[in-house]
Amino acid sequence: MSEQFEMIAKTFQGLEEILAEELTTLGANDIQIGRRMVSFTGDKRMMYKANFCLRTAIRILKPIKNFTAKDADEVYNQIQAIPWEEYLDVNKTFAIDAVVFSEEFRHSKFVSYKVKDAIVDYFREKTGKRPSVRINNPDVLLNIHIAHTTCTLSLDSSGESLHRRGYRQEQVEAPLNEVLAAGMVLMTGWCGECDLIDPMCGSGTIPIEAALIARNIAPGVFRKGFAFEKWVDFDSEMFDEIYNDDSQEREFTHKIYGYDNSPKANEIATHNIKAAGVSKDVTLKLQPFQQFEQPQEKSIIVMNPPYGERISTNDLLGLYQMIGERLKHAFVGNEAWVLSYREECFDQIGLKPSKKVPLFNGALECEFRKYEIFDGKYKEFKSQEGEGEEKKETEGGYDTPRPRERKEFKPRREGEYKPRREGEFKPRKEGDFKPRREEGSFTRDDRDRKPRGEFRGERDSRAPREFRGNREPRIPKKEEE
């Protein structure tokens, strides 16, 4: 049996439970939810899969030492005691990322310097040589986290943040983070069973992430590389097997629609969608939300309208009033999820949310609210939905307690994770990963390198994917105009 070890998946505050569900699907063990992180255990294959498959993780850390320290000298001594030849050699470069929440250590750069000095001195004493520090694209990236006097030193197995999928060619002002967009879609429970609409799609992040979810395409297929590929114990054959397997991908029989009133945003979204290879699944249209009409098919809206923080608008409250009016009159019988920041904006929508979820968009403490737009009276709607089953309703028409106001939300408790939703995901099993060695197939190392961002177009989702290049993201051939 392969060695099991602890890992930490970092994420945005508010997405911890969704990330834990993803880890459960992958088959991770000992899942524990913390603040902006989820810890778990697994082997090397699990670490590779976590980097390649998780949609709501920012990075995957592998702790190599936990210790306590009250001053910089104790940090230095603890770091120098690590057998560094197991992780690094003098011919490789390294960098250190420090995160500090402590009265004893007030400057993260100072902590980084002490860790660097300890590693350099270790090799000088052992070999007379020293490895070099390289800030950009180092061979080994280390992370030290200090909370009060508790310190954890980890290897960063991801390298560049996992939100940088690799499909984004251009972006609009203040684009939505890919990890947050994927988390929003997963939070709705949507997996492709109906149409999905983003009426203010900007550069197309929500539609693209939704298409990848609907077709179960791993988000790591577009990346040029991961930090663990430079580690001394990297198993290229094992990662080839994971990278080249697309047996879990599936057909998507519905449609995703992205609308925006900006021609420039529409052009950018078109390029990004082509780069992600999901043009057959996503339809873009230059259209303001004021012209939105009732869909003929059952649909769900997931949207991220302007907050008035990074993007200004002449009449912010009027915009949200218009959103509420369109939902009431042109989205009857469906549900809409809206991410926003200001309470006064939500008030202008004029609908009572059935769910409120605190989410951080960067430094902004936002809320992701669910609105059910009923066709008729609420009780009639619920009786039809339950197909005769009795449901207890509290005052205001909720079958669960009324959501607390923003100020009443309490920090998420750390503890053992228990999945909230069952049956929505089909876990991958180890036997599902089949190496592609048939005639005419390719591995990562068989492909010719092409410049990043070159469009290679769509492929038939039922046909085997062709890989061309050396560790180049799996971007399809150029589409026919």
pLDDT tens string 82-99: 999 999 989 999 999 999
What's the CA gap between 118 and 120, in Å, rounded?
6
pLDDT class of 383 with cuts at 50, 70, 90: low
pLDDT given for residue 478 in this prediction: 43
Taking residues 353-360, report their average pLDDT: 95
Cα 214 from Cα 192, distance rounded (Å)? 5
Q: How many helices (H) and strands (E) does the chain have?
A: 11, 16
Query: Out of 125-129, 319-323, 471-475, which region has the weakest mean confidence (pLDDT)?
Result: 471-475
130 contacts 90 by C-beta, under 8 angstroms? yes
The 10s digit of each residue's pLDDT in 358-367 is: 999 988 999 9
Q: What is the pLDDT of residues 205-247, one digit of tens each?
A: 999 999 999 999 999 999 999 999 999 899 999 999 999 999 8
Pairing of the two strands 59-68 and 140-147: unpaired
Please report the pLDDT score of residue 419 as a whole number: 52
- Max intra-chain CA distance, the chain: 80
Task: Report yes or no: 47 and 215 within 8 Å, Cβ to Cβ.
Answer: no
Q: Please tell me the predicted confidence (pLDDT) of residue 175.
A: 84
**Type of residue at 60:** I
pLDDT exceeds 60 at position 456: no
Q: What is the mean pLDDT of the chain?
A: 82
- Measured between alpha carbons, how far is 328 from 330 in angstroms, rounded to an integer? 6
β-strand pairing of 59-68 with 5-10: antiparallel
223 and 473 Cβ atoms separated by less than 8 Å: yes
pLDDT band at 150 (very low <50, low <70, confident <90, very high): very high
Residue-level pLDDT at 44: 97
pLDDT at 480 over 80: no
Q: Does 109 score more than 70 pLDDT?
A: yes
Q: What percent of the chain has pLDDT over 70?
A: 76
What are residue 380's phi and psi, to 5 degrees?
A: -65, -40
Give the model's confidence band at 457: pLDDT under 50 very low, under 70 low, under 90 confident, else very high: very low
> In this predicted model, what pLDDT tens digit does every residue of 432-441 receive, in sequence order?
444 443 333 3
Question: Residue 312's pLDDT band (boundaries 50, 70, 90)?
Answer: low
**398-426 confidence digits (pLDDT tens):** 344 444 444 444 444 455 445 544 444 44
Q: What is the pLDDT of residue 399?
A: 42
pLDDT of residue 102: 84
C-alpha–C-alpha distance, residues 182 and 205, integer Å: 9
The superfamily CATH assigns to domain 178-215+252-373 is: Vaccinia Virus protein VP39 (3.40.50.150)
Res. 450 pLDDT band, cuts 50 70 90: very low
Q: What is the mean pLDDT of residues 2-31?
A: 96
Q: Give the pLDDT score at 103.
A: 81
Eight-class DSSP state of 230: G
Given a cut of 70, whether residue 58 has pLDDT beyond it is: yes
pLDDT the model gives residue 476: 45
Phi and psi based region of residue 319 (left: phi greater than 0; alpha: psi -120 to 50; beta: remaining) = alpha
| Cα–Cα distance for residue pair 348/354, rounded to 1 Å | 16
pLDDT at 1: 59
Task: Please give the pLDDT value at position 380.
Answer: 53
Binned at pLDDT 50, 70 and 90, residue 467 comes out as very low
pLDDT in tens, 249-291: 999 999 999 999 999 999 999 999 999 999 999 999 999 999 9
Read off the pLDDT of each residue in 137-149 and give the average, rounded to a whole number: 92
Q: What is the CA radius of gyration of the chain?
A: 24
* CB-CB neighbours of 318 under 10 Å: 11
What number is the average pLDDT over the span 148-161?
94
Percentage of residues in the chain with pLDDT exceeding 90? 66
Section 471-480 average pLDDT = 47
